[in-house]
C-alpha cells in the first residue's frame, strides 16, 4: 500500500508538468546511499537509460546520501529526490568533469566545473522534497582555490526546479546560460559554507518565473546577467521570495553585454543584506529598460536600491576595449517598507549615471524608510567621486568606492526624469545632511517627501 501511494504521488507530480511517469530507481543501477560510495557512473547510467527510453523519472529515495561527481541531465528526464534523501557532491575536485562549459565572469575560472550539467536539452526537471548538498565546505586542502558550482544549464529550454532544498555549494548554486522557459518554485537555497555563493544566476535567459523561494547566500541571491550581445535577459517574474545575503538580495547587470527588459519583482522580503537589496548595474554595452519593483519589505538592507550606469569589463569573453554605452531607462520602485534603523548612516537609495549617459525615467513611490541618521555637516558637504573607466581599472563599480553619502534618504546624480511621490523618512538620531541630494538631475518631476513627520518643502532641496 505504501509503495502504491508513493508511485501515485509521483504520477500526480509528473502528470502536472507533462512528463512521462516511467520510473528508474538509481538503486536498480547499483547506487547506494551510504554517503561513501561514489555513485557517478550508476546515476549516469540511470539517466542515460531514461533518456534512451524517451524520458521519465530518475528516482533517489530511501533516505541516506547518494555521493556523486558530475552528472549530465538529458531531454525529458526528471530527477526526483525523495523527502529525507540527499544527492551529495563529492569532496574530490577530480570527480568533477572538465567539459561543463565555464563561468562567464573574468578571473573566475576556478568555478568552471560543476556537479549537475545539461547542454542543449529540453524538458528537464529536478523535483521532490529532498536535498541537493554541494558538500562545498572550505578546508585547508579542499575547495579553497578550485570550487565547483552546483548546477549549470547551457542552451536549454523548459526547465523546472521545484521544492528541493539546495545547500552548501562550493561556489555558485546555479548558472543558467541562454535558456528559455524556466520555472523555479518552492526552492530553499542555503549557501554560507564558502565564498561567492550566488543563488540563481540567469544569464541571457528568457521567460523566467521564480516564486515562493527562500535564499540565504554568501553572495547575490538572484542575478540577471547578459554575457552575450545576442542573448537578452527578458520577461522575468520574481515573486513571493525571501532574501538574505552577505552581498545583494538581487543583482541585475554587471555582466551586461546584451539587453535587459521586462522584469517584475513583487511581494518579496529582504533581510540582512550586507551590500544592497536591489543592485542594478549596466556597464558592458547593453540596454536596460522597463523594470518594476513593488510590494517589498526590507530590514537591515544596507542600500535598498543601488544603481550605477558606467563602463567596465566584467565578462571573460568581453573585448579588451570597453563597449560604448547605450541606455538605462524606465524603472519603478513602489510600495516599499524599509527598516534600516540598526545600520550605519549610509543606508539610503543611491542612483548614479554619468554626465553624458544619464539614467532616465525613474519613479519612486509610496516608500517608508527608517534610518539611523547621525550624519554631520561635514558629511552633508561631501562630493561623491565620479570614477572614469581609467580610475575604476579592474575594479567593479561598488559602494566601497563611494564612501559617505551626502544625504540620508536619496542620493541621485546624472538622472534625466525623476519622480518621487509619497517618500517618507524617519531618522533615529538627528542628521545634518539633507534628506535628498540631487547632482545633475534634469526633468525633476513631482517631489513629495516627508521627513520625521514633516512635509518636505521644495525650497529644501537643491539641484546642482
Per residue in 21-78, pLDDT (tens digit) is 699 999 999 999 999 999 999 999 999 999 999 999 999 999 999 999 999 999 999 9
Rounded CA separation 63/375 (Å): 55
Assigned fold of 2-460: Pectate Lyase C-like (2.160.20)
Number of other residues whose CB lies within 10 A of the CB of residue 26: 25
Predicted pLDDT at 252: 98
What are the residue ranges spanned by the domains of the chain?
2-460
Predicted pLDDT at 462: 47
Predicted pLDDT at 457: 56
Predicted pLDDT at 83: 97
Residue keyed to cell 510590494: 295
Ranges under pLDDT 70 in the chain:
1-21, 390, 457-464
Amino acid at each position: 500500500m505504501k509503495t502504491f501511494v508513493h508511485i501515485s504521488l509521483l504520477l500526480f507530480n509528473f502528470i502536472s508538468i507533462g512528463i512521462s511517469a516511467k520510473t528508474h530507481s538509481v538503486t536498480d543501477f547499483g547506487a547506494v546511499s551510504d554517503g561513501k560510495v561514489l555513485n557517478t557512473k550508476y546515476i549516469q547510467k540511470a539517466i542515460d537509460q531514461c533518456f534512451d527510453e524517451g524520458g521519465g523519472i530518475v528516482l533517489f529515495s530511501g533516505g541516506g546520501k547518494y555521493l556523486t561527481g558530475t552528472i549530465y541531465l538529458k531531454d525529458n528526464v526528471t530527477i526526483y529526490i525523495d523527502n529525507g534523501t540527499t544527492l551529495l557532491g563529492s569532496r574530490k575536485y577530480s570527480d568533477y568533469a572538465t567539459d561543463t562549459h565555464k563561468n562567464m565572469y573574468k578571473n573566475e575560472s576556478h568555478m568552471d566545473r560543476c556537479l549537475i550539467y545539461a547542454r542543449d536539452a529540453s524538458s528537464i526537471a529536478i523535483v521532490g522534497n529532498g536535498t541537493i548538498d554541494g558538500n562545498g565546505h572550505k578546508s585547508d586542502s579542499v575547495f579553497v582555490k578550485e570550487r565547483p558550482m552546483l548546477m549549470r544549464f547551457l542552451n536549454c529550454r523548459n526547465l523546472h526546479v521545484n521544492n528541493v532544498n539546495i545547500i552548501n555549494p562550493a561556489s555558485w548554486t546555479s548558472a543558467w546560460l541562454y535558456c528559455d522557459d524556466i520555472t523555479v518554485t518552492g526552492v530553499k537555497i542555503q549557501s554560507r559554507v564558502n565564498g561567492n555563493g550566488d543563488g540563481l544566476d540567469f544569464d541571457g535567459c528568457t521567460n523566467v518565473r521564480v516564486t515562493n523561494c527562500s535564499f540565504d547566500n554568501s553572495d547575490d541571491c538572484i542575478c540577471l546577467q547578459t554575457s552575450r550581445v545576442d542573448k537578452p535577459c527578458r520577461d522575468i517574474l520574481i515573486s513571493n521570495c525571501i532574501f538574505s545575503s552577505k552581498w545583494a538580495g538581487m543583482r541585475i547587470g554587471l555582466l551586461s553585454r546584451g539587453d535587459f527588459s521586462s522584469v517584475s519583482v513583487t511581494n518579496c522580503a529582504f533581510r540582512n543584506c550586507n551590500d544592497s537589496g536591489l543592485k542594478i548595474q549596466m556597464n558592458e554595452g547593453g540596454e536596460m529598460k522597463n523594470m518594476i519593483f513593488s510590494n517589498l519589505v526590507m530590514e537591515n538592507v544596507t542600500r535598498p536600491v543601488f544603481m550605477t550606469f558606467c563602463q567596465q569589463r566584467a565578462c571573460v569573453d568581453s573585448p579588451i576595449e570597453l563597449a560604448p554605452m547605450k541606455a538605462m531607462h524606465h524603472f519603478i520602485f513602489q510600495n516599499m517598507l524599509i527598516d534600516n534603523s540598526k545600520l550605519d548612516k549610509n543606508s539610503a537609495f543611491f542612483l548614479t549615471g554619468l554626465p553624458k549617459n544619464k539614467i532616465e525615467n525613474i519613479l519612486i513611490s509610496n516608500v517608508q524608510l527608517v534610518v539611523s541618521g547621525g550624519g554631520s555637516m561635514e558629511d552633508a558637504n561631501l562630493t561623491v567621486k565620479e570614477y572614469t573607466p581609467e580610475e575604476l581599472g579592474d575594479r567593479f563599480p561598488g559602494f566601497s568606492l563611494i564612501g559617505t553619502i551626502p544625504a540620508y534618504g536619496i542620493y541621485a546624480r546624472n538622472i534625466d526624469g525623476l519622480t518621487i511621490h509619497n517618500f517618507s523618512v524617519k531618522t533615529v538620531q538627528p542628521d545634518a545632511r539633507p534628506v535628498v541630494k540631487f547632482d545633475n538631475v534634469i526633468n525633476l518631476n513631482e517631489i513629495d517627501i516627508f521627513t520625521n513627520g514633516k512635509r518636505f518643502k521644495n525650497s529644501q532641496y537643491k539641484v546642482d
